[in-house]
Amino acid sequence: MADDVDERGSTYTVGCRLDKLLPNAQHVDAIRAAVERMQRVMIDTCDLMNLYIRDRLQNHEGSGLEHVFERNWLLYAMNEVTAGSDRATHLPALTSVRVAHMGGLVRSPRASLRQLMSNQRTNLAAVASTNIWLHFRARLVRVVTTAMRLPKEEYDALSTEERKERAIQIRSIAVDIIRPAGAAYKSSEQYHAVVDARRNILGIDEAVGEWGEYPFLYHIKSHPERFLRATWLLSRERETQLDRHGNTCSGFALFPLRRHMVPRHVDFCQEALREVLRLGSSEYAKKSARAKRGR
């Protein structure tokens, strides 16, 4: 990609092929190979994280999930699915999951990927936490809607107004399940028992802790890891439900899954590029290092 400036002085980006941007064929091959390896690392890391989270929820009462959305912690997961220096730190809990569930994994070499892995961890941490907080309410509505679906004959017998009112009540139930403690119900009284039961099963109040004056969205964005158990429970229920055609519904990913080797976002900074092309540190970096040593 190359930046250009239009007649108004605004910068814009122009896409072009890598082999047209770089005249050195060896550099092009090195970058493409690094991108392919990085994509493999991302796919394997996401697989491992899904397995790890489910293992902690099923077998360890949800312990060990406090840092799974932190970029620095994700380095442990990347180290687990890559091969390289023995100096890399490994977590026994991650290793046991990899050995138990990913026996056929061919670990990608992480040589010259240090900075790329650092850049990708930042993106992955953001995407993974967003997967929990952004979709939680929609997933809850989906599960509640399917659970309360009427047989076709009963639904067809409803008038248009009754159908609208029912849809409003179902969404109100979902809103009530995640409403702040002590807040008024939005759904009709006949559904309050359902709301309270689901709220207790999902452990909404336990996950939030102290509500304060903040809404549910604030709490789940601040600590998405606390709502992994609730998302997992919704996913398990969803997997037991049938759609309108009688097919089993798919569950929800607890961590973003990547299934394709097509690059989406591989962030190259100057340091990553120099590392991949084995150019060594820049003169600026060397000068800065000398200045620090001289202090």
**Coil/strand/helix, residue 291:** helix
Per-residue model confidence (pLDDT) at position 258:
81
- In this structure, are strands 82-83 and 108-109 parallel, antiparallel, or unpaired? parallel
**pLDDT score of 163:** 95
Instruction: Give the span between the Cα atoms of 132 and 86, in whole angstroms.
Output: 34
H/E stretch holding 94 reads helix 92-101
The secondary structure of residue 248, as a DSSP letter, is B
pLDDT at position 261: 64
Query: What is the spatial distance between Cα 98 and Cα 112, in angstroms, rounded to a whole number?
Result: 23
For the CA atoms of 275, 279, 280, 285, the dihedral, rounded to the nearest 10 degrees, stands at -90
Rounded to an integer, what distance in angstroms lies between the CA atom of residue 142 and that of residue 241? 10
pLDDT at position 4, please?
60
Q: How many CA atoms lie within 13 A of 149 on its CB side?
A: 14
What integer pLDDT is reported at residue 21 of this predicted model?
A: 82
Per-residue pLDDT 10s for the chain (295 aa) are 445 666 777 777 777 888 888 888 998 898 898 999 999 999 999 999 999 999 999 999 999 999 999 999 999 999 999 998 767 888 999 999 999 999 999 999 988 999 999 999 999 999 999 999 999 999 999 999 999 999 999 999 999 999 999 999 999 999 999 999 999 999 999 999 999 999 999 999 999 999 999 999 999 999 999 999 999 999 999 999 998 888 999 999 999 988 776 666 677 888 888 888 888 776 766 777 677 776 5
- Pick from 255, 227, 252, 230: nearest CA to 74: 255
- Predicted TM-score (pTM) of this structure: 0.85
| Backbone region of residue 61 per phi and psi (left: phi > 0; alpha: psi in -120 to 50; beta: other values) | left
Query: The tokens 């060594």 sit on which residue?
Result: 280
Distance of alpha carbon 77 from alpha carbon 51, whole angstroms: 11
Please, which residues have CB within 8 angstroms of residue 119's CB and are 6 or more apart in sequence?
A: 267, 268, 269, 272
What's the pLDDT tens digit per position in 255-285? 998 877 666 667 788 888 888 888 877 676 6
Helix/strand/coil for 15? coil
Distance CA 22, CA 276 (A): 14
